[in-house]
Amino acid sequence: MILDVPEQLEPIIVEVPDPRGPWGARGVGEPPFLPLAPAVLAAIHDATGIWLSRIPVTPERLWRAIQASGEC
């Protein structure tokens, strides 16, 4: 929930190059969003029993997956 986000964050600068990034660059704002898609897909699975492996999950894709599973 949004209320779980701390009011203030203390950034820590890490001056160690990332071997996967171009010229050792690291992402700054992306890391909090990395688990978002898997969390949404897991929530859909918990609600429907269907695992989806492609994003974005549109209503049409979800409906087709539900139809293909024979759950309805």
Q: What positions carry a catalytic annotation?
A: 30
List the structure tokens of 3: 């209320």
Half-sphere exposure in the Cβ direction for 24 (13 Å, CA): 4
C-alpha gyration radius of the chain: 18
* Cβ-contact 58, 65 below 8 angstroms: no
